[in-house]
Every structure is written in C-alpha cells, then in structure tokens.
Amino acid sequence: MPLQKKRTRRKEMNLRDIMTNQIEMLPPDASILDAAQLMDSNDIGSVPVVDDGEILGLVTDRDITVKVIAKGLDPNQVQLRDIMTSPIITAYEDQSIDEAGELMEAHQIRRLVVLDRAKKLVGIVALGDLATRSDALIAAEVLEEVSEQDRGVA
C-alpha cells in the first residue's frame, strides 16, 4: 500500500478501533497484591484506580516493581492510592491513533486511558496496541522517544 494511503487509513482509525475495552478496575484501597494478582490473571500491565465511577489514577506493573518491590515494602500493606499515577493522561475514543501517539510521546507514557465524550472510562490503549493493531511506524516513533527519556537521554 502506498505511504500516503497508509497515512490516510491511519488517520481514519480512532482509538475505539484499537483500544482494549475489557477493563479490570480496582478501588484505591485495594492492596498492591490484589493489583498484581489481577494483572497476572488477566495478562494486563495496568489497572485503573476507580472510586464511585471516577477515575483517580492508574497503577502499572512497573509502578509495583519500582515503588513497592524494589523498596522492600509489603504488597499486602501498600494500597493503590499510595503508588498510583495521578492525575492521568486521557484521550477520547474518537481521537485518531496519531493523536494518541503524540500524547504518549509528549507525556512520555506507554498507556492512555480512553474515555467517551461523557468522560466515562471505556478502554485503555497501550503502546503495543498501536504496534499490533494499527501502523507500527507510530509505535516505533513513540517507543524511541519514551525509551530515550527512560535512559536519561534528551
């Protein structure tokens, strides 16, 4: 397919076309162990932290590793509210995948929480979703930028 057609097709794809919409959520008082077990049993890398339908934050497998395990904290005692990333970067389900890539790159993140226009949580888009469900070029560009920041390279 010619490059121009790929770009046009990619711009037509929205986040709703590639997002994961089976979302596992936990309340802020859930333990890190609860989150880790949920991630393991569902083969996911992040869990939105939600209270009464309001998205408070996001906990990733990396958060658990760096903020709990590496510090020798007890995953039974630490609650999600203690380590969650908040506020989180969100996108709307009708935004293009190019816009999602730009958001991820600008904020140095690998996951976006996806909302509908009523601001209800409807999905999550990970960098891997961009690579496997759309054009891998944008995912490669975002990964390069995020990885450079992880290594401390400007």
User: What's this model's pTM, rounded to 2 decimal places?
Assistant: 0.77
CA–CA separation, 19 vs 93, rounded Å?
8
Pick the CATH number of 14-150 from 3.10.580.10, 3.40.50.300, 1.10.10.10, 3.30.2080.10: 3.10.580.10
Using an 8 Å Cβ cutoff, are 149 and 140 in contact? no
Other CB atoms within a 10 A radius of the CB of residue 2 amount to 7
Residue stretches of the chain with pLDDT short of 70: 1-11, 133-154
Query: What single-letter amino acid sits at 79?
Result: Q
Q: How much is the pLDDT for 12?
A: 76
